[in-house]
Chains A and B, each alone.
Chain A
Amino acid sequence: MKHQDDTCAILFSGGTDSTLAAALQIEEFGKLILLTFDRAGIAKIENSKTNAKMLIDKYGADRVEHIIINFDKVFKHISYENYFKNVMKHGFMNLSTCGLCKLSMHIQAIDYCNTHEIKYVADGANQGMNMFPAQMKPVVDQMKDLYQNFGIIYSNPVFEYESPDEGSFISMENANMLKSLPKQDMEKEMQKKTAGKILYEKGLAPLPNVKGSVYDRKRQPRCFQFILFKMFANKYFLANKTYDEYVGETVDFFADKVKVAEAILTSEKGKKLL
């Protein structure tokens, strides 16, 4: 174990990616703190306790701890500070609710780590979810720099893993997803390097591909603001611009927001939000 005496904080939703991130980090670190974040607009936060309990039962309560933190104030500030000026400069990018939400979680995680002298943070960010700002490589790099400014190493142990196949809206696979556990081609799923497959091999999931199923949804909180974000990103932005342009504008937007994040973490006024 490389960091036997160290603690790692995990940004933990309870979904397959963050659960695997925790299962991988427990092999490197003496202790894990699973940080789940709650705010207005996130429902069923208690769902995150299911996989947290599974990890605690498997690895021991002395090694895994689960904490839920409210971040209403930070999220509201990050989303709406200098709003008119930001709308003039970045337009509909201000609807990157998922990225702003994740940035707010990072801010809260840095504050927690600073208070508890934790030097390592990980999460389940995955390259397959590259529509979401917080899982785009350039934005992930911006987050790493933010953490580094506070002496914390932020890593993404499942970033390179494959995403499971997403059935189209009208495919059989999606029809299967209505059932608690979806039917799947085991041989095909076991050939992939997905978070689900590794969790299954570790005895932490009943099947290699549970992503999007009722089983998966019951293990993480629910938030509908991603619909607003996807409407803007898919129907408005990507309807007449390329993905590279989308990444470029996202990086510019989050460069400004990261400066706000630093101000929150270093100023007396900002710390009142934490």
Chain B
Amino acid sequence: MIGRFIGIVISLIGLILPWRLRILFSEFLGWVTQAIYFTYFGIFNFILSELRKAKEMESKEKDEAPR
């Protein structure tokens, strides 16, 4: 519902804009989308790499533990 509303508003703005302003508006949308996308995946990849390191530490400790 919210997504559809945002889509309609953005489409309406795009429809009434003249050529160069529409291009600038699209650039703005593009950079906002990229920022969200890369922030999300930056955090996602960071969490994954930390989990991977923790797992490696754990298995290293297990191997070094006295038998």
Contacts and interface: CB of A to CB of B under 8 A. Distances in A.
Interface of A: 40-41, 76, 79-80, 87, 92, 94-95, 97, 170, 174-175, 178, 223-225, 227-228, 231-232, 234-236, 239
Interface size bracket, B side:
20 to 34
Given A228-B10, A234-B7, 8 more contacts: A224-B27, A228-B14, A228-B22, A231-B11, A231-B14, A232-B11, A232-B14, A236-B7
B10 to A, nearest CB: 5
Contacts of B30: 224, 227
Interface string B19-60: 110110111011101000010011011001000000000000
Secondary structure at the B interface, as helix, strand, loop or mixed, is helix
**Main DSSP-derived SS at the A contact region:** helix
B2 to A, nearest CB: 10
21 contacts: A40-B19, A76-B19, A80-B18, A92-B11, A95-B14, A97-B22, A175-B48, A178-B38, A224-B29, A224-B31, A225-B23, A228-B11, A228-B25, A231-B6, A231-B10, A231-B11, A231-B29, A235-B3, A235-B8, A239-B4, A239-B7
B7 A87 contact: no
B8 A236 contact: yes
B3 A92 contact: no
Contact of B26 (A41, A80, A175): A41
A230 B4 CA distance: 12
